[in-house]
Each structure stands twice: as C-alpha cells, then as structure tokens.
Amino acid sequence: MLPSEIFQSCIDDAIQRSDELMRSVVRQVIDALEQQAEAAGTGRDRQQFSDMSHALRQNEGKLIQAFVERFHAVLDEELYEKKPVSPKELQFDVLSLVDESDLEEGVEVSRLTHMLESEAQWEVRDLGARLDSLRAGQHAAPQSNPLRPEVFSKSLHHALGMVDLDAEERLGLLRAF
C-alpha cells in the first residue's frame, strides 16, 4: 500500500469514527453538566447546568449529525480545496460591527482549541509527524495536519450553530465542552 493510500485511509477512518467519537464526547459533557447541577451551590447555578444538560440531550442527534457533516466538509477543504485567501478578498479599509455574542463564541472556540492542543500536545504532534511522513515526506507546518484540534473546535462551533439554541445556550455549551 502506498503512503498516500495509507494517509487517505487514516483520514477516512477519522471521518468514519467521528460520529462515535462525538456521541461519546456529548455523553460525557451531559454527564458532567448533570454532576455540576447536583453539586451547584445555588438554585440559579443548578438550574443553569440542568438547562444546558437538557438542551444538549434534546439536540444530541442533530448536533452530532451537524458536527459529522461539518467535520467531513472541513477535512475535504483541508485536503482537496485549500485555497489561499487572495489579497482582493481582504478588505482592510472596510469596518464592520461584530456582534458581542459572536465575539464571545469566537473566544470560546479559540479557548477550546488551545485547551485541546495543550491536553493532547504530544499526540497531536505525533499524529502530525505521521501524517506528514505519509504525504511523501513533505515538510508540513502544524496547520497542515488536517486532524488538528482547530478542526474539531470549529466543527463543534458550526454544529452548535445548526441546532435550535439561543446565543447564551450556545456559549454555555461551548464552555462546557
């Protein structure tokens, strides 16, 4: 089997397992939220954790499906359609307002990415090196690992945006992950 075929096999395996992985992660987050609700000191905190757990449980199937679809699409973009941003697409002379909730969600996505990178630093580095070697030894930057934590956190953010949650619930669930 050629290295490129092994590489593609690794990517296909990641896509195939993404449903099972996300289902496991969602279950762990639901359990953690329920434990936090039980241990909460105030009724307000207890209600907040309970509401997030309920919202996640209620939207579990749709969230997992949206995550898997986005994860697959992002991997396809990473592997096959990677297009650098052309200078004309960057508009530095145009100002736009940013919704505060969008900004907070962006910060939480970044926090989740950094947490995943920190928690799995060696695993991500090892995986990146292995995938790099399968790509015929091309020297790859950390951003070239298509299975890097950023892909997971951005796919999760997209999936949370696809389910019926308000901005506060989305932000709370991003923090819970």
What is the DSSP code (8-state) at residue 86? P
Q: Which long-range contacts (CB under 8 A, 24 or more apart) does 31-36 make?
A: 32/176, 33/176
Predicted confidence at residue 25, as pLDDT, reads 94
CA distance 113 to 94: 28
What residue has token string 């669930």? 173
> How confident is the model over 4-32, as a mean pLDDT?
90
Mean pLDDT of the chain: 83
pTM, two decimals, is 0.77
> How confident is the model over 157-167, as a mean pLDDT?
90
Q: What is the pLDDT of residues 38-71, one digit of tens each?
A: 998 888 989 999 999 999 999 999 999 999 999 9
Q: Which of 56-60, 98-102, 109-113, 115-119 has the lowest mean pLDDT?
A: 98-102
CA distance 150 to 71: 11
Percentage of the residues of the chain whose pLDDT score is greater than 90: 36
